Structure 1
Amino acid sequence: MTIEEEIKAIQDEIDKTQKNKATEHHIGRLKAKMARLKDDLIKQAMSKGGGTGGYSVKKSGDATVTLVGFPSVGKSTLINKLTDARSEVGAYEFTTLDVVPGSMEYRDAKIQILDLPGLVKGAAAGKGRGREVISVIRGCDLILMILDVFNFDHIAVLEKELYDAGIRINQRKPDVTITRTLKGGVVVTSTVDTTIDHETIKTILGEYKIHNALVNIREDITADQLIDVVRDNRVYIPAVLVLNKIDLVDKEHLKKFPKDAIKISADRELNLDVLKETIYDHLGFINIYLKPQGDKADLEEPMIMRGGATVGDVCDRLHKDFRRKFRYAKVWGDSAKHAGQRVGVDHTLCDGDILTIIIQK
């Protein structure tokens, strides 16, 4: 039996099992088994992706965005309109066979955008070039899920393929910690009421051979979220739904799609400015102004960083030796307790901060 067949058999058993308190532990165990099998497919994707044929993509710029969608939804046209890329465009499926990178400059930020081969149903299980494509998606900062106006059902299929590949869109990692211990069994503490009961938690951990651990839960979670925490190989990436080819239908047709979808026509260049602004906002950029020691700060050309960046992250961007030679830094702005506060590499910066870095000579 192949991995795909094992997964299907487990899913069939879950579907036919009546959902109630008596079966909760059994379903939790089945989900844990299925998650482990799906992880085997992810490992295959990571080992086969990033090789030859255009899938070894060097990240550049201030952030990386991937265009994800089924074949012929207009990804190639879109990247050509947004960036300096020249991706082949054709009225047939699988025009793009390799990853095509492009660079978009917007509000001082340099954003790398990747046009990927179209996903197909079953991509997470290795169909088409799904494994290679997924390996690239897992390393990006933002996903643009591209649909066309004639395929509403693609939304659910895309979301499922990403989920099965261990990619959690528009979610954050559950606030749960699991600390293995040498003895004492599984001890669960929680600061909130949880949907999942303690016995199911122990059952799921047991499926992964964790029989002694301290589990601290600080938010309500499901069995699937607990499995994500146990596996610790999920990636949490923001995503934006982009509806393309709106020039081909009337407004009534568009009402079936989610209201928060960004509605564009790449071919006619409709609403591309809205899309650019949305990309920028979702990437959470902040401006950091550098101040050489004993000189004025450069307030004309900020360094663009992602929200949550530290002084160490700035060091890494400036020069490969800056972190190694780092002595201390001074900060002016919202992240500082007082003007010119002396800080270390782990200090988290805020938008608009002014930063001086002192290194060894």
Structure 2
Amino acid sequence: MARTQKNKATEHHLGLLKARIAKLRTQLLEPAGKSGGKGEGFDVARYGDARVALIGFPSVGKSTLLSEVTETKSDAAAYEFTTLTCIPGVIHYKDSKIQLLDLPGIIEGAAEGKGRGRQVIAVAKSADVILMVLDASKGDIQKKLLEKELETVGLRLNQSPPQISFKKKKTGGITFNNTVPLSHLDEKTVMNVY
């Protein structure tokens, strides 16, 4: 792809290749299926009105927070990687139930699959809200590293999702509108897929 000359004739082809790469990257981030061994603890059934994932580096207080705000007991110890699976808890607030997920700590390079990074991030992607738990004594470094890991896998932090709309024309074809500049999608690619 890097050696392909970029012009109007190859633009469509490059868009299709980028779409395939994105699809394959997404498949890599999915946790291993039943054929991949035990993989225990990461397939947590969705429960309640909302799902919040606690994500952060090891030993920052995710398990302690879960134990304090829910009735779930999550082991916390003075050493890293105490939590090895996803531990769910439920917060009852007024008439709603909010599922809180205590995820294992991720390490730098989790987006590339280090540790159990792919499994942790796949669970975080299924959440309605991602709550980053940080160690206050480490300063802003942890936040920047965690944001970088999450943005690498396509999670848009503190941003509105792009509004893209398609309308079928009466005369044939479609109308394509977007509210933000798109980096990986163009009208020609959409026409081909649609």
Q: Map of 1:14-93 to 2, 5 A cutoff?
A: 36-37=20-21, 39-48=23-32, 52-93=39-80
Whole-Å separation in 2 of the counterparts to 1:115 and 1:33:
36
Identity %: 41
Instruction: State the Cα deviation string for residues 37-94 of structure 1 (Å, max 9, x = none).
Output: 4542320222516863111101112211110111111101110101011111012211
Of the candidates 147, 155, 158, which is equivalent to residue 143 of structure 2? 155
Cα distance, 1:153 vs structure 2: 1.3
Q: TM-score, normalised by structure 1?
A: 0.42
Mapped partners of 2:71, 2:21: distance in 1: 40
Q: Number of residue pairs matched?
A: 179
Correspondence for 1:110 among 85, 97, 111: 97
Verify the 8 A CA contact 1:76 1:115 in the aligned structure 2: yes
**1:111-136 deviation digits (Å, cap 9, x = unpaired):** 11010001112212111101111121
Q: Report the Cα distance in structure 1 between the residues aligned to 2:177 and 2:82, rounded to whole angstroms.
A: 47
Question: What amino acid does structure 2 have at the position aligned with 1:221?
Answer: P
Whether contact under 8 Å (2:49, 2:96) holds in the other structure is yes
C-alpha separation between the residues in 2 aligned to 1:123 and 1:140?
A: 18
Matches within 5 A, 1:187-336: 214=174, 216-223=176-183, 226=185
Residues 37 and 105 of structure 1: CA distance in aligned 2, closer, same or farther (over 3 Å): same
Q: Is the 8 A contact 1:72 1:118 kept in 2?
A: yes
> Aligned partner of 1:46: which letter?
E
Q: Does 1:128 align with 2:115?
A: yes
- C-alpha distance in structure 2 between counterparts of 1:118 and 1:76, whole Å: 10
Equivalence for 1:138:
125
- Name the amino acid aligned to 1:171: Q
Equivalent residue letter for 1:160 = K
Matches within 5 A, 1:177-192: 177=165
Kept after mapping to 1: 8 A contact 2:86/2:103? yes
Instruction: Supply the distance in 1 between the matched residues of 2:51 and 2:42 (Cα, whole angstroms).
Output: 14
CA separation in 1, counterparts of 2:7 and 2:59?
A: 42
The DSSP-based 3-state class of the residue aligned with 2:84 is coil
Instruction: Give structure 1 stretches of 5+ with no counterpart.
Output: 1-5, 11-22, 185-212, 232-361
- Kindly indicate whether the alpha-carbon contact (under 8 Å) linking 2:32 and 2:39 is maintained by their aligned counterparts in 1: no
Map Cα deviations across residues 292-335 of structure 1 (whole Å, 9 max, x no partner): xxxxxxxxxxxxxxxxxxxxxxxxxxxxxxxxxxxxxxxxxxxx
**Partner of residue 174 from structure 1, selected from 162, 175, 194:** 162
Q: CA deviation at 1:175?
A: 2.1
CA distance in 1 between partners of 2:182 and 2:30 (Å): 27
Unaligned runs of 5+ in 2: none
SS at match of 1:53: coil
Contact 1:63–1:111 at 8 Å: present in 2 too? yes
Secondary structure of 1:223 counterpart: coil
Question: Higher strand proportion, which one?
Answer: 1
Q: 1:39 to 1:111 in 2, by over 3 A?
A: same
Q: TM-score, normalised by structure 2?
A: 0.74
Larger of the two Rg values belongs to structure = 1
CA distance in 1, matches of 2:109, 2:19: 16
Shift of 1:36: 4.9
User: Would the alpha carbon gap of residues 215 and 92 (structure 1) be closer, same or farther in structure 2, given more than 3 Å must change?
Assistant: farther
Any idea what SS the aligned residue of 2:90 has? strand
